[in-house]
Amino acid sequence: MLQYVIGYNMNIDRITIEDVARRAGYSRATISRVINNDRRVKPSTMKRVRAAIDELGYVPNVIASALSGGKTRTVGILLPDLSSPYYSNLLEGIDRVAIERNYHIVLKTKHSTRSVLELLETRQVDGLIIRHSRDPEDDLSLLNRLQSQGIPFIFIGKPSIDDGAYAIMVDNVGGAREMAHHFVEHGFRTILFISGRSENLDSRDRGYGFRLGLAERHFDMNNLHTLEGDFSRECGYEIAGRFLAEHRVDAVFAANDRMALGVLLYCHEQGMRVPDDIAVAGFDDAFFSEYLWPPLTTVRQPMHEIGTVAMENMILAIEGTKVSTSRIILPTKLMKRKSCGCSFDHFGARLQDQSHQ
Amino acid sequence: MLQYVIGYNMNIDRITIEDVARRAGYSRATISRVINNDRRVKPSTMKRVRAAIDELGYVPNVIASALSGGKTRTVGILLPDLSSPYYSNLLEGIDRVAIERNYHIVLKTKHSTRSVLELLETRQVDGLIIRHSRDPEDDLSLLNRLQSQGIPFIFIGKPSIDDGAYAIMVDNVGGAREMAHHFVEHGFRTILFISGRSENLDSRDRGYGFRLGLAERHFDMNNLHTLEGDFSRECGYEIAGRFLAEHRVDAVFAANDRMALGVLLYCHEQGMRVPDDIAVAGFDDAFFSEYLWPPLTTVRQPMHEIGTVAMENMILAIEGTKVSTSRIILPTKLMKRKSCGCSFDHFGARLQDQSHQ
DNA sequence: CTGAAAGCGCTTACAG
DNA sequence: CTGAAAGCGCTTACAG
């Protein structure tokens, strides 16, 4: 039987800074300085202390360190929610770097702002990576706290505050522009673009990039129709229904994959063949996109890389390194699949590299 | 500009146990006892102290608590990996309870066993929820540590050690049995079952349940063909190719969704219509299954509920409550979608409830 | 460049 | 039932 023996301090005599001090012949203070890379310690003692640490296999107790004002080697990750699998790649990227650098990550969702404040107050985390939700108001008290306490934080996506907050973003403009070029290569003459809400920054950038790309290829802009959606599947379905009943276009580009999915569903229902009768593409490369029928051509956000870059920069900030830029924009990748008219077999992903290039 | 002001203890004078003690007119020891629900304190002082805590809005510093042998209100979650979105619902379930009960969760993957040991040694976590990977060897040193230190741990799925370890499991037998009944209702006379590896416990249970269910409905077992797969998409594709080229069956039941996906791909390639020419079903209700074409009939593992139940029991264990069973089995749910021949519109999920019931 | 000492905010035998 | 005191394992001004 599993025994819930609790509370007894069965200390498997852990090696402490005291042990190292004795072994190395220095004070605890010096050992601490070596651990924290204090430049004031003489190189030779540094060496000796390090040797003692290795011999004993000493690992600092971050709990004690945190309590006395040091670091915890832990960073908090704040996500809008966990219900959808949208963030698994992001998390994996973050985790990869965490493992490499021996950091811990504690996961929080937007529902627990109070709990996040507690993390900060008690110094349980050294920094915060924030993927903000739609509505930025939530973050305000949090941001104040972060700024006043001088705790490093990094946004994933456009930050909800302006003044130079650190952020990792995605090249929405470039991604949509590339899609536009690809559409023109396919020879599409009439196109429907379904945007997100007009106030949404991602959607705006994607719309801008798409128009830019079409213009560059001398597409007749009179044949580009634009309708405003809200990023939901239902809305994609509805707009497709409303528009396609009366107009005919060669292709639809939705500002995200969920709306593209809605369009696809409408087409199936109406017996329109994709891509033969009409091409469809989206943006995000969401978790479901390659499994749709037909597999969805889309613009991949490099979520994994966003995670690694965010975490790497977080660690730099925590460890006090000056960072030159406060914003980093990562390139997207056009995922050509069947829904735009490119041809692949049923294992799609496998043959991805064959087309164009 | 974001300022990385680090290391300065800008203590926004946090309220400590000392403040509460003064306010309530008791010693720090007593306050601590109240916080930890020590039964020895007199009800009346309990009341007074609680009042003081409320008035001051005091929140204990878990870091300090941990250092002196108390709890951290943090539980570690150990996952095989984060690369796939398989665990997002599990995480969400865990998180929901964590929020409710004011716990933190720190996320770890199998690649960082050393780092998990560190968490345990320094008492950074009060307990561990473990979703083990295929190969249970990894866990051994970890398990020893857990048992010798008396730290509560709970497995998701069949545990890799036998002796009564706490585990939350899924009713593989019941789920597959229900699928068998459903197959018979559809009138299938010849069936191919693709199992997982013979040593895989999940696969065995599913195979057993499926045969059981067929037998119960007087299915002629001579018309059940069984082939061994390995849970991969490629293998499902291959086996379908090998078998269906020479035999004809009414339906295929794969022991997991990835193999069912492989079967689907093969059918598309060969121009076999699903479900008209052949029905296909899987097990898991993986993240992609409802997005396949046609949407895949499958057995849902209640991942969200597994998460909540695991976390709830973890907290019980941490807080020293005796728990009567060490194993909990949660029911599955048959997700009837188009691939088995049930009919739905393209929003599948929406109409789910209409059939049978 | 290094050490002695105070302190971080709790918990828990030990007395009473 | 409650308090005084020691201690958890670090960090960091302050001296030297």
Q: Which amino acid is at B116?
A: V
B68 inside domain = no
Residue B270 and residue B178 share a domain: yes
Tell whether B218 and B269 lie within a shared domain: yes
Question: Would you say residue A5 lies in a domain?
Answer: no
At B10-59, the pLDDT tens digits run: 445 678 999 999 999 999 999 999 998 888 899 999 999 999 999 998 98
Express as a percent the part of chain B with pLDDT over 70: 87
Beta-carbon contacts of residue A90 (< 8 Å; ≥ 6 apart): A131, A156, A303, A304, A306, A307
CA B51 – CA B112 distance, rounded (Å): 43
What mean pLDDT is reported for chain A?
86
By the 8 A CB rule, do A172 and A195 touch? no
CB neighbours of residue A137 within 10 Å: 9
Count of domains observed in chain B = 3
- Nearest-Cα distance to chain B for A24, in Å, is 23
Confidence of residue B4 (pLDDT cuts 50, 70, 90): very low
Cβ contacts of A110 within 8 Å, gap of 6 or more: A78, A79, A80, A81, A133, A138
Residues from chain A that touch B288, judged by Cβ atoms under 8 A, are: 287-288, 291
- CATH number, domain containing residue A205: 3.40.50.2300
The minimum CA-CA distance between A299 and chain B, rounded to whole Å, is 19
Q: What percent of chain B has pLDDT over 90?
A: 59
User: How distant is C1' of C5 from CA of A316, in Å?
Assistant: 32
A249 lies in a domain? Answer: yes
Cα-Cα-Cα-Cα dihedral sign, residues B120, A74, B315, B35: positive
- Classify residue A126: in a domain, yes or no: yes
Residues A226 and A347 placed together within one structural domain of the fold? yes
**Proximity of residue A122 CB to strand D below 7 A:** no
Q: Do A346 and B265 touch (CB under 8 A)?
A: yes
Q: Which pLDDT band holds residue A353 (cuts at 50, 70, 90)?
A: very low
- pLDDT for A346 equals 55
Question: Hey, which bits of B11-109 come out as E strands?
Answer: 74-79, 104-109
Q: Which chain A positions have a beta carbon within 8 Å of B12's beta carbon?
A: 121, 148-149
Contacts of A143 (CB under 8 A, 6+ apart): A153, A160, A161, A165
> How far away is chain A from the Cα of B219, in angstroms, using its nearest Cα?
33
Within chain A, what is the greatest distance between any pair of CA atoms?
A: 86
pLDDT reported for residue B346? 55
pLDDT in tens, B278-316: 999 999 999 999 999 889 999 999 999 999 999 999 998
Same domain, A202 and A258: yes
Chain-chain contact of B88 with A83 (C-beta, under 8 angstroms): yes
Percent of chain A exceeding pLDDT 90 equals: 59
Q: Are residues B145 and B286 in the same domain?
A: no
Residue A95, pLDDT > 70, answer yes
Please tell me the predicted confidence (pLDDT) of residue B132.
75
Q: Residues of B with CB below 8 A from A85's CB?
A: 85, 88, 287
User: Tens digits of per-residue pLDDT, A282-291?
Assistant: 999 999 999 9
A1, A104, A163 ranked by CB distance to B326: nearest: A1
Residue A155, SS3 per DSSP = strand
Beta bridge partners of A105: A75, B107
Residue B347: the pLDDT is: 56
Residues from chain B contacting residue A106 (CB–CB below 8 Å): 74, 104-107
Q: Is B244 a residue whose pLDDT tops 50?
A: yes
* Secondary structure of residue B291 in the 3-state scheme: helix
Length B117 CA → D2 C1' (Å): 38
Quote the mean pLDDT of chain B. Answer: 86
Count of CB atoms situated within 10 Å of the CB of A222 = 7
Looking at residue A157, its pLDDT comes to 85
**Which pTM does this prediction carry?**
0.86
- Taking the C-alpha atoms of residue B203 and residue B195, their distance in angstroms, rounded to an integer, is 6
Tokens in use for A76? Answer: 């908090």
Main-chain phi, psi angles of A32, to 5 degrees: -60, -40
Contact A201, A159 (CB under 8 A): no
Q: What is the pLDDT of residue B11?
A: 42
| Contact (Cβ atoms closer than 8 angstroms) between residue A83 and residue B88 | yes
Inform me whether the C-beta atom of residue A332 falls under 8 Å from chain B C-beta atoms.
no
If asked whether residues A152 and A257 sit together in one domain, one would say no
Strand D reaches within 7 A of the B45 CB:
yes
Q: Which pLDDT does position B356 carry in this prediction?
A: 40
Question: Which range among A182-186, B322-326, B348-352 has the greatest average pLDDT?
Answer: A182-186
A84-88, A163-167, B91-95, B212-216, range with the lowest pLDDT: A163-167
Q: Give A20-86 as a DSSP string.
A: HHHHHTS-HHHHHHHHTT-TTS-HHHHHHHHHHHHHHT----HHHHHHTT---SEEEEEES-SSSGG
Query: What phi and psi, each to the nearest 5 degrees, are found at residue A302?
Result: -75, 70
B223/B344 same-domain check? yes
Residue A191: in which H helix or E strand, if any? Answer: strand A191-195
- Tell me if chain B has a CB within 8 Å of the CB of A346: yes
Q: Is the pLDDT of residue A321 over 50?
A: yes
Min Cα separation B24/chain A (Å): 23
Residue A147 shares a structural domain with residue A201: no
Which of A356, A357, A335, A338 lies closest to A347, judged by CA?
A338
Residues 6+ apart with CB under 8 A from A166: A152, A153, A154, A155, A159, A313, A317, A323, A326, A327, B2
Tokens of B97: 């309870």
Across the range B243-263, mean pLDDT stands at 95
Tell me if A110 is assigned to some domain. Answer: yes
Nearest to A206 by CA among A174, A231, A229: A174
Considering the domain boundaries, does residue B12 fall inside one? no
On whether both A250 and A322 belong to a single domain, the answer is no
Pairing outcome for strands B104-109 and A104-109: antiparallel
- 69-128 in A: which are within 8 Å (CB) of B? 69, 74, 81-85, 87-89, 91-92, 95, 98-99, 102, 104-109, 111-112, 115, 118-119, 121-124
Identity at A146, one-letter amino acid code: L
Work out the number of other CB atoms within 10 angstroms of the CB of residue A331: 13
Same domain, B38 and B114: no
Nearest to B63 among A63, A104, A322 (CB): A63
Q: Are residues A197 and A341 in the same domain?
A: yes
Tell me the CATH number at A54. 1.10.260.40
B60 CB closer than 7 A to any strand C atom? yes
Chains A, B: CB contacts within 8 A come to 191
Q: Quick check: is A66 in a domain?
A: no
Which of B63, B147, B143 lies closest to B104 in space, CA to CA? B63
User: Any residues with CB less than 8 A from the CB of A75 and at least 6 apart, and which?
Assistant: A98, A103, A104, A105, A106, A125, A126, A127, A128, A129, A311, A314, A315, A318
CA separation for the pair A35, A293 (Å, rounded): 55
* Residue B206, domain extent: 172-300+334-354
Name, in order, each residue with C-beta under 8 angstroms of A151's C-beta and a sequence gap of 6 or more: A120, A125, A126, A127, A128, A145
Residues with Cβ within 8 Å of B33's Cβ and at least 6 positions away in sequence, in order, are: B40, B41
Q: How far apart are CA B310 and CA B129, in angstroms?
A: 7
Does A269 map to a domain? yes
Most trustworthy range by pLDDT among B71-85, B124-138, B260-274: B260-274
B84 with B34, same domain: the answer is no
Single residue among A6, A30, A60 that ends a domain in this structure: A60
Distance CA B72, CA B115 (A): 17
List the strands of the sheet with A224-228, edge to edge: A224-228, A191-195, A251-254, A279-281
Neighbours of A299 (CB within 10 A): 28
Q: What does the radius of gyration of chain B's CA atoms come to, in whole angstroms?
A: 26
